[in-house]
Structure 1
Amino acid sequence: MKTSPRCWAEVDLEALRGNLAWIRHRVGPRVKILTVVKADAYGHGLKQIAALLMQSGTDIFGVANLAEAQAIRSVGEGWPILMLGACLPDEVETAVRDAVRPTISSLVEAQAFSAAANRLRQLLPVHVKVDTGMGRLGIEAARATELLHRIGKLPGLALAGLYTHYASAEDDPKFSRAQARRFQRLLDELADAGIRVPLIHANNSAALLHQPQTQFNLVRPGLLVYGVLPPGQRRDKSVFQKHLRPALSFKCRVSLVKTIAKGASLSYGRTFVAPRPMRVAILTAGFGDGYLRAGSNRARVLVGGQRCRVLGRITMDQMLVDVSRVDGIAPGDEAVLIGRQAGEVITANELAAWCRTIPWEVLTAITYRVPRLYRGSQAA
């Protein structure tokens, strides 16, 4: 006998397709789109999302590691893949063999890729990253021109791109403008030196919304593709949210409904004590499914079309919620952790705020034991 899942995520492929179409409209036909699909496509399921994006107009995929690149290759050949993370020394030859475009931050890295490309008799396109203020990967802007000169002389390498990454495009326009100026000065210096780079990119999702002047000829949306706005002080929900639809819903079921007395305590640590008699529903989701424990006693879920507060500590496989004001709730009923039910909605940004974190963590935390159910014309 087939049973329904206890906890699952639904992914609306048509929403994702529409989000990418809106991004395409916003940046224009001459700007290429690198779609970021790190961390299992932000928890949406890498292979299924890659297949959809291949049919929906993405130009390049952005990944964190070689395993993600190989997963994309298993879906379809031919798409350029940029590895946004650093390539470890023992991964260099595999990256060259699999035609994964690496991010270069130093001459040592460039020389290693050149040697591997020569051994394998391949010409490898590479992107150089410039650190303008993020402080992670990337060469200092003052040293970038010399690195590009040296790469131009290394056999087996083709300079395909140059990029930087904003540290706080959603919150700090002043610092973002300073980063943009540093990057532009480098571009001017390269132009004066006669160094031409085919692809120039800086804008992530937040910068794509707020800094169109630095979109250059490639943008790197991640969160926006999945229909979620980057949080922060610069967000203008009324302007942008109407164009985007969240692709992912996160759901579970009611396993038991019980009445507790005033003074009864709930869950580990007894962090919630009932101030009055209450009706409580036990739900079939917990931090083992990726519902963050930080939402304990703070988050809300939808049951019976109403917002219900999480009570006590979220445990590995279960959580408790207050359904005192919701009629007719029974075991087997659906509960919505992220998404819509009746006329109510809970967003990834809301859940992130309750958990004092960011929507990227909320989405990518959803674990392997939560099946992804795909909806839409491309669902397999």
Structure 2
Amino acid sequence: MSSMRLATLLLASSLIVMAAAAIAPALPAISYHFRETPNIDFWARSMITLPALFIAIGAWASGLLVDRYGRRKFLISGLIAYGAFGGAGLGIDSIMLMMLSRVGLGLSVGMIVTSTTTLIADYYSGQERHRVMGLQGAFAQIGGVFFIGLAGALVDLYWRAPFALYLLSWLIAYFVYRYLDPSPVVQRLKNEQAFPERVSLVLRGYRFDYYALMACGCFLMIVLYMIPTHMPFFLERRLEASSTEVGLSIAMLNLFAALSALLYKRLRLWIGCHRILGLSAFFMGAGFLLFAFAQSKFDVVVGMVTFGCGWGLVIPNIMVWVNQLASEARRGEAVGRVSTAFFSGQFLSPFFFDPLFRLFDPFRVIFFVGLSLLVLSIACIFWSVAYHKAQKTSSIP
């Protein structure tokens, strides 16, 4: 039963990345089908970016509700909505209705990401929680690569076929109903009448740490999404890299991010969350500096691998950290807010970098981002010192 519970949580987590990835290969076909629509290329690209905004909104709202109405029920509802809104593309023949379905998809992903992460924290503790959070991060990375490849094959059969992938969520909803028990934490808190509105969001003395984590998560996600949105153009002009070569290099990033996420539990045995965040920022910054000074395509691959090793640790580390800081009665809300910060960064990334790439030389922008990440890495060392002084009087394990 415990193995099926873990498998169900990981399958649900894989849907988070799939939300945008599943239709990416179908965008040219969607543009062609709706070619009579004005600005169709813009609308087609927005089908990828728009859900991120509503994931951020949905995660925040879900965080307020899952602590009161139960994580398991909320996860099942999110999975059913995910299949309904995502699969709507199989029959919708209006680009505006399709955009509305992407809004609903984003809100449902917000429900899923908050519920799954909170349930992992409820079901597991200590080193086992670290292991499962690492598996969740790895599953999300591998799932993204798998679903993009599968969607590409389905597009060759029929342009609407990738939308059928979203219906997998209904099968996972059954698994949640069958194999996941109601949260033991929620049941215990109800018995103790420890209602969310009666307790603080995070443990006393750690509000700065919590909001600093939100800021770091947003910033690192902004940086991450610069790679698929701007790096292909930079590499094409700098090294005359083909689309296939760019795609393979980004796949290397995802692969090594998954591998580093799998190592999170082992790394957590040796160093604390602050230093892991600093290590992540260091590898990500080193990757960007390798991009900036790349003289060959091999240098780019090394940069992607280096960046991936850092990025793979970010989400499991921040989620473990947040669950240490959060009050049990408001764990879902704490996770929801951090998830909102992450997906806000995904949505804001093009708005942040587009003006910079227009105003400055791409080398300078990429170099500055790498330098900023190294500064963050150093800041984490000082943050760690301050945190451990405060920890002496806290109850955080």
TM-score between the two structures when normalised by the length of structure 1: 0.21
Choose 1 or 2 for highest CA Rg: 1
Instruction: Report the structure, 1 or 2, having the larger helix content.
Output: 2
